[in-house]
Amino acid sequence: MQTFCRNHGSLCRILLLCWIYWRSPRCHGAVEGIPTDEEQATGLEKIIMKAMKEGSDPYSMMKPKEYAGSKVDPHLVPSITNKRIVGCVCEEDNTAVVWFWLHEGEAHRCPSCGSHYKLVAHELPH
């Protein structure tokens, strides 16, 4: 072995470095196997995943919760201002949309079908 290393010194150094690197823990990556999405997420994706895990939806990516539309349980409409225009398709197979303004405060009724809507404050995530 010594004779080989004397004759091929650079090759022995390379092999020694490879052996040292192979024995190091950083070479083997994740000990537990393939990392999950949560473990390897970075930046905005990590922020979104953390918020979703906590139960909030900062970028309104999930389907909104459905409400009965009654006076007790009105449809909640998020807005960053104190008013918003709302469109109501009163019947499932209706092709016309009834548009009306929704103002901050108590729930408002759709002028056509009577469903109740309430404006709620919405904070932008940025």
Nearest in space to 116 (alpha carbons), one of 83, 71, 77: 71
Q: Where are the alpha helices (DSSP H) in the chain?
A: 2-7, 9-23, 37-40, 43-54
Confirm if 86 and 100 have CB atoms less than 8 A apart.
yes
Structure confidence at residue 52 (pLDDT): 83
Look at residue 119 in the predicted model and tell me its pLDDT: 94
The pTM of this model reads 0.56
**12: annotated binding-site residue?**
no
Closest CA to 80 of 60, 106, 61, 110: 60
The ranges assigned to domains in the chain are: 64-125
Q: What pLDDT score does 45 carry?
A: 87
pLDDT tens, per residue, the chain with 126 residues: 666 556 666 776 787 777 777 776 665 555 568 888 888 999 988 988 888 888 887 777 777 778 888 999 999 998 989 999 999 998 888 899 999 999 999 899 999 999 999 999 887 766
Q: Find the angle CA(44)-CA(48)-CA(49) to the nearest 5 degrees.
A: 115
Q: Looking at residue 83, what is its pLDDT? A: 93
State yes or no: 88 annotated in a binding site.
yes
Q: Identify each DSSP E strand in the chain by its residue range.
A: 75-79, 83-88, 98-103, 108-109, 116-121
**What per-residue confidence (pLDDT) applies to 60?**
74
The CA R_g of the chain, rounded to the nearest whole Å, is: 30
pLDDT at 100: 95
Residue 18 annotated in ligand binding: no
Res 55: pLDDT:
82
Question: Residue 24: its pLDDT value, please?
Answer: 64
Topology of domain 64-125 in CATH is Cytochrome C Oxidase; Chain F (2.60.11)
Does 110 count as an annotated binding residue?
yes
Whole-number pLDDT of residue 115: 93
